[in-house]
Chain A
Amino acid sequence: AQSVAQPEDQVNVAEGNPLTVKCTYSVSGNPYLFWYVQYPNRGLQFLLKYITGDNLVKGSYGFEAEFNKSQTSFHLKKPSALVSDSALYFCAVVSRSSASKIIFGSGTRLSIRP
């Protein structure tokens, strides 16, 4: 069965420190990988994606993600966290064989303390 795992329900980081939100996947082939962010009472916003090429992908608001094929991981990172980064983050995967169906991870709540 295809799945996406976000092992941490919550990540707490002090403002100015680096942050990492973890994501691993179990999807056959070479899937497309995405990160979305959701602020309270809002829809999801696209942050970044990996399709092919360079393993380090840069996205919106200073976020980046590193694709690791051998570990089937796609961790989200930011060098210096802001309080405004506090939100719910979803990793997502699309299999090339079922292209219309996106599989979301369970979500990680990121909390940045001043």
Chain B
Amino acid sequence: DTEVTQTPKHLVMGMTNKKSLKCEQHMGHRAMYWYKQKAKKPPELMFVYSYEKLSINESVPSRFSPECPNSSLLNLHLHALQPEDSALYLCASSQDPASGGASEQFFGPGTRLTVL
């Protein structure tokens, strides 16, 4: 299985809602990532988990809260978002954090988030 799956595909939420995005991979990868992508722009790194521990937080607002329950799952909890947070949220994984960045990343199809 060489897939990264993400649910839901689409999400519409109000600014007072709490929702979660889910990401799953069964490739045995030990690094997992969350990215935010605006239309026609490159992905922007948000968080990196290495061996289930948060290793990078790119100064992301606290209304985004990541969680890595186990080596296959990655969640992104959303609360009190703003309309400017509307974007495509991509999850990715790569094989081995110890490889020093030489491993390519496998991306999921993304969750299209709209904040009203």
Q: Which residues of A contact B101 (CB under 8 A)?
A: 32, 94-96, 98-100, 102
Interface readout for B90-110 with A: 1 if CB under 8 Å, 0 if not? 101000010111101111111
| Interface segment, one of A11-19, A38-46, A77-85 | A38-46
Q: Does A101 contact B (CB under 8 A)?
A: yes
Mark interface residues in A12-50 (1 if CB within 8 Å of B CB, else 0).
000000000000000000001010100001111110010
Chain B residues closer than 8 Å to A51, beta-carbon distance:
102
When the two chains form their complex, are residues B100 and A90 in contact, meaning their CB atoms are under 8 A apart?
Answer: no
Q: Out of B41, B42, B56, B109, which one reaches A101, CB within 8 Å?
A: B56
Question: How many residues does chain B have at the interface if contact means C-beta atoms less than 8 Å apart?
Answer: 27
Interface range, A side: 20 to 34
Contact A90 B45 (CB under 8 A): no
Contact, CB under 8 Å: B104 / A42: no
Binding site for A on B (CB under 8 A): 4, 6, 31, 40-43, 45, 48, 50, 55-56, 90, 92, 97, 99-102, 104-110, 112
